[in-house]
Structure 1
Amino acid sequence: MDFDDVINKRYSVRGYLDKEVEDEKLEYVLKAATIAPTGVNNQPFKVFVIDTKKNKESLSEIYGAKWFVEAPYVLCVVANVDEAWTRPWDGKNIADIDATIVMDHIILAATNVGLGTCYIAAFKADKAREFLNLNDNEVPVLFTPLGYGNAEPRDTPRKEIDEFVEYI
């Protein structure tokens, strides 16, 4: 797919087929995470690849939507706050920004190879931290199912450019 196709075809998939993801597609998606830009290229993240069938109960406690556990995998991007760059002038740590960029690369790469995903930020962080056995400096930022979609896109109206862009 060319870039325009990828960004226009991507949507939040809320239903998945019971169909395995090929190893080469999973590797392609994970490789996209490694090339995502991060502050001073620190790459302060981990990507957890979670086998849904083996972890359905725990995943359902983290996020309760039925479709969340239909795909063969759920991925979680975890930020390492201690390794992320911090702006020296105001102390802003960009670990969450880095992790979000990583997830965006994952989701666009998945779309490019015909896989469905859905950004999940509305999860129970305490359950995720416990399940993933995270250290104090590690923060779960985003989850996504990863698999073959079995749901049509919802109507998601978009703002016009002049509603959110300001030229100064």
Structure 2
Amino acid sequence: MEFFDLIEQRYSMRGFEDKEVEQEKLDKVLKAAQLAPTGANFQPFKVVVIDTRKYKEELTAIYSPDWFTQAPIALCVLASKEKAWTRRYDNKNIADIDATIVMTHMILAAEDVGLNTCFIAAFKPDKAKEFLNLDDEWEAVLFTPLGYGNAEPRETPRKSIDELVIYK
């Protein structure tokens, strides 16, 4: 699939079939995470692959919409501020940025192999930390369900290029 076709057709799926994800497709999605660029190539992330059927109750406590646990897999990107690059001029730590790049790579790879996803940042961080048994070094940054979608896309109007781009 051509890249612009992929990004134009991709949308946040909010409904999933009861269908397993093939290991080959999951492996490609995880490979995309491994290949994601990170600050100074420090790779301060981990990806947690979660069986939604096994952990439905725990995942629902983290993020409650039913469609989140309809997909057979949920992915979570963890970030370590201790391991991430920090800009020396203002001490800006980019762990969250790195984690977001990783999730974006996985989401685009999922679309490329015929799977669907949805960025989830509106989860309960305390419940995620407890479920994932994270120490203070690691933070859950983003989740996504991963599976075969069965919902129609919602209208997602976009601002014009003129509203979004500044030329100097």
TM class, shorter-chain normalised? over 0.9
The SS at the match of 2:93 is coil
Please state how far the C-alpha of 1:6 moved relative to its aligned partner: 1.0
Please state how far the C-alpha of 1:9 moved relative to its aligned partner: 1.1
Structure 1 residue 23 corresponds to structure 2 residue 31: no
Q: Distance in 1 between matches of 2:110 and 2:6?
A: 9
Q: Distance in 1 between matches of 2:30 and 2:166?
A: 35
Q: Distance in 1 between matches of 2:133 and 2:6?
A: 34
Superimposed CA distance per residue, residues 59-101 of structure 1 (whole angstroms, 9 cap, x where no aligned partner): 0000000000000000000001100000111011000000000
**Structure 2 counterpart of 1:56, which letter?**
K
Q: Distance in 2 between matches of 1:61 and 1:34?
A: 29
Structure 1 residue 70 corresponds to structure 2 residue 77: no
Q: Distance in 2 between matches of 1:164 and 1:137?
A: 35
Q: Distance in 1 between matches of 2:62 and 2:46?
A: 18
**Structure 2 counterpart of 1:127, which letter?**
K
Q: Tell me the residue number matched to 1:34.
A: 34
Please state how far the C-alpha of 1:144 moved relative to its aligned partner: 0.1
What is the total number of aligned residue pairs between the two structures? 168
Structure 1 residue 124 corresponds to structure 2 residue 124: yes
Please state how far the C-alpha of 1:3 moved relative to its aligned partner: 0.6
Q: Which runs of 5+ in 2 are unaligned?
A: none
Q: Tell me the residue number matched to 1:140.
A: 140
Q: Distance in 2 between matches of 1:10 and 1:133?
A: 32
Could you tell me the TM-score, scaled by structure 2's length? 0.99
Q: Distance in 2 between matches of 1:89 and 1:145?
A: 37
**Structure 1 counterpart of 2:3, which letter?**
F
Structure 1 residue 12 corresponds to structure 2 residue 16: no
Please state how far the C-alpha of 1:2 moved relative to its aligned partner: 1.2
Q: Distance in 2 between matches of 1:131 and 1:9?
A: 33
Could you tell me the TM-score, scaled by structure 1's length? 0.99
**Structure 1 counterpart of 2:118, which letter?**
C
The SS at the match of 1:157 is coil
